[in-house]
Structure 1
Amino acid sequence: MPKPSATIDPMRTLQADKAVLEARRLREAGKIDQAAALAAQIVQAEPTHVGALRLMGQLAMQTGATDIGIVCFSRALAVTPRSLDTLLELGNALLAGQRPAEALTAFKKGLTLRPNDGALFRGLGQAQLDMGNRADALKSFRKTLSVLPYDQYAAHMIAALTGEASKTSGGYVPDLFDTYANIFDEHLTGTLEYRVPELIRETLLARQATPHTMLDIGCGTGLTGAALHEIVAEKDGIDISPKMVRKALERDIYRYLRTGDAVEAMASDANLSGPYDLVTAADVFIYMGPLEAVFAAVARALAPAGLFAFSVETVPGEQVTVRSSGRFAHPTPYLADLAAEQSFTILEQRDIQVRRERNLPISGALYLLART
């Protein structure tokens, strides 16, 4: 690790500081490549400039270059080992790089410097969960919430880990997607390489399925509806995020749109009671955890021989698992049992890459079920 030089040139330091401010301005203006190039120049000239190292790390994380981010934050921390901000950035980068044990060390060191920091407790809980220590993770998320009572992620994780709610959305999921609505399509299909709606379309076409009516659970901005627009004549949609529903409305492809919880709305809203020839849930169940209630609701809403297409993130074993991302993963035996309980036949079960996250593929599965 580079060490601070014995002599410091005040003029060079001042020039480097000004250059860092300019690189930050470029970043804020969305000129990421230019900001990264300038930050690299500063670090080359001043290898121990903490501001430039941290900025390089932040830019690396923003572009998915996790390994570079870890190196930059580590070098910055070597210069200022008691920097809480750098410890937090390093810990989060290590989490993204799937190095939870090292992240745990960074967060714990931060807590020795500030014992009541909610962000450090949140990171600690994520690291503990990634290491399989659910009990300690729960304690850390509870500590997070005691320090930051409005931290909806911590509340979501507590509910998921305790099984206190069959739907753990609370305010976390609606707020997450309300914030995301304006950039959702471009980020999901571009940066994250999300193709589940197209895969559903390909699956239906391969089977020469001709559904006339469709309910799109978790319709979001309408990506699935758009992918199936020429296949399905009448489409209804529901989503928990009001801003996402407004975006879907702009597509003008849905017959009826509703904001709210899917299971509750299907039970109370005559416009969503069916019968439907097709129900879709693309990347929805990853935010719902246990699926007993929604499978039962779909079974009631489907017409005889109706189809049910959905995607999940997968995990070994037999138990639904919450991840530090805040999303749930569903094992194959669990889904097979649910299908049998609701008299569904599994027509297709296909391993897929659901998306990419931090340049790493997220494994999942696409299912096509039929009501029998």
Structure 2
Amino acid sequence: MEREEQRNRRYWKNLATTLHKEGRYAEALRIYRQAILTNPDDADVSYNLGNLLRTIGQNEKAISFYEHAHRLNPKDPDILINLAPLYRSGQRHDAARQCYEKILQLDPENATAHYFVAALAGQTPPRAPTTYVVELFDQYAPTYDQHMNQVLKYRAPELLRNLLLNYAPTRGRRFLTCDLGCGTGRSMDAFERLITTVDGYDLSPVMLQRAAAKNIYRQLIAGDCIETLAAAPASYELFVAADLMPYIGALDPLLEVIREKAKSPAFLVFSTEFQEHGESPRLLTTGRYQHSLAYMQSRLRAHSMSLRAFQVEALRLQAEQPIQGGLYLVEV
């Protein structure tokens, strides 16, 4: 009888997990709730239910199930890895810091935890860890376009295209283009009429799979944008980085390789999260960097680049509030 109950529990857990992956959230939620009632001490069920609730935007309920799962299984770092971002998004910074510190006790080499401990302490490491960015966007890829367009009202690519059209000599010109941090190819939807050939560079293999399905790119290169661009044989007339800079604090290595790969005269258009004052980047508790105009001007001068146009605009929403960004047009 006990074995039969165990088989039934495994069956319902597996079914709920499958329904979640297929996007059948209401059905998965119903089964998980039944499972948690019959077996409230199953850490896996609490954890998976937390994952589902987070997926459908019920963060406070997700937190309670993650916390319950952690009490049942305090040595599982995956529970804490999923719980900490919900504390951060809810401005519960002390709880988030404690969460990341517990992760480091279990996994001292966890780069994401080190990164957010620094962010929550007001420190600014030079860039986001590769493992963090890959994990973030691999998970985000299936819903990225829909979420950016419909929920976050993301419009940086369109604003950057307009900046290029308004302030650069583009009449009748089409560019050999490098799309840095290309993701799913969302930016090239806006630039379609301004490009001839485009290559995409991104860390996330799952995002690149989505980009490949759009048949926009000549080639898609997986890996660190700075390293892969430096190794590429191609040179480019236009560089687009619509949402790359918020994951790179110190921009000198990127600007240096763009300079090396520019087919003169070339242009660079990019967006940042805008910092009004300050001579250096600032890492926010969101895990994204802000850059000021003063910082960008100093770094562009250092790499012999000319700032042709700059604007501050609302790029997207976060927690239903507009995020101000800096939009830059640079001649390389």
Q: Same fold (TM over 0.5)?
A: yes
Answer yes or no: is the 8 Å Cα contact 1:312–1:330 preserved in 2. Answer: yes
What are the equivalent positions in structure 2 for 1:204-353 lying under 5 Å apart? 204-207=164-167, 208-209=169-170, 210-271=173-234, 274=235, 276-318=236-278, 319-353=280-314
Answer yes or no: is the 8 Å Cα contact 1:169–1:288 preserved in 2. Answer: no
User: How big is the shift at 1:87?
Assistant: 11
User: How big is the shift at 1:188?
Assistant: 0.8
Structure 1 gaps, min length 5: 1-24, 36-54, 74-83, 90-109
| Cα distance in structure 1, aligned partners of 2:216 and 2:124 | 37
Moved more, 166-175 or 254-263: 166-175
Q: Which amino acid aligns with 1:203?
A: L
Partner in structure 1 of residue 134 of structure 2: 174
Partner in structure 1 of residue 33 of structure 2: none
| Cα distance in structure 1, aligned partners of 2:188 and 2:266 | 17
Answer yes or no: is the 8 Å Cα contact 1:122–1:144 preserved in 2. Answer: no
Aligned match for 1:153, one of 86, 103, 112:
112
Q: Deviations over 1:139-164 (max 9, x none)?
A: 87444421455865313324667979
| Cα distance in structure 2, aligned partners of 1:60 and 1:256 | 34
Partner in structure 1 of residue 326 of structure 2: 365
Answer yes or no: is the 8 Å Cα contact 2:202–2:222 preserved in 1. Answer: yes
| Cα distance in structure 1, aligned partners of 2:147 and 2:138 | 14
Structure 2 gaps, min length 5: 1-18, 30-48
Answer yes or no: is the 8 Å Cα contact 2:314–2:325 preserved in 1. Answer: yes
When residues 126 and 358 of structure 1 are mapped into structure 2, their CA distance, relative to the original with a 3 A threshold, is closer
When residues 334 and 237 of structure 1 are mapped into structure 2, their CA distance, relative to the original with a 3 A threshold, is same
Q: Which amino acid aligns with 2:310?
A: Q
Q: Which amino acid aligns with 1:155?
A: H
Answer yes or no: is the 8 Å Cα contact 1:240–1:259 preserved in 2. Answer: yes
What are the equivalent positions in structure 2 for 1:100-179 lying under 5 Å apart? 119=80, 122=84, 126=88, 141-147=100-106, 153-158=112-117, 166-179=126-139
Q: Which amino acid aligns with 2:224?
A: D
When residues 204 and 347 of structure 1 are mapped into structure 2, their CA distance, relative to the original with a 3 A threshold, is same
| Cα distance in structure 2, aligned partners of 1:195 and 1:252 | 22
| Cα distance in structure 2, aligned partners of 1:115 and 1:248 | 39
Structure with bigger gyration radius: 1
Moved more, 150-159 or 293-302: 150-159
User: How big is the shift at 1:211?
Assistant: 4.1
When residues 61 and 223 of structure 1 are mapped into structure 2, their CA distance, relative to the original with a 3 A threshold, is closer
SS in 2 for 1:230: helix
Q: Which amino acid aligns with 1:238?
A: Y
Answer yes or no: is the 8 Å Cα contact 2:112–2:129 preserved in 1. Answer: no
Answer yes or no: is the 8 Å Cα contact 1:211–1:278 preserved in 2. Answer: no
| Cα distance in structure 2, aligned partners of 1:115 and 1:317 | 42
Q: Deviations over 1:77-103 (max 9, x none)?
A: xxxxxxx828979xxxxxxxxxxxxxx
| Cα distance in structure 1, aligned partners of 2:238 and 2:276 | 28
Q: Deviations over 1:203-225 (max 9, x none)?
A: 22223523421100000011112
Answer yes or no: is the 8 Å Cα contact 2:111–2:129 preserved in 1. Answer: no
Return the TM-score normalized by structure 2.
0.70
User: How big is the shift at 1:316?
Assistant: 3.3
When residues 163 and 296 of structure 1 are mapped into structure 2, their CA distance, relative to the original with a 3 A threshold, is farther
Q: CA RMSD for the aligned pairs?
A: 3.9
SS in 2 for 1:174: helix
Q: Which amino acid aligns with 1:299?
A: R
Aligned pair count reads 279
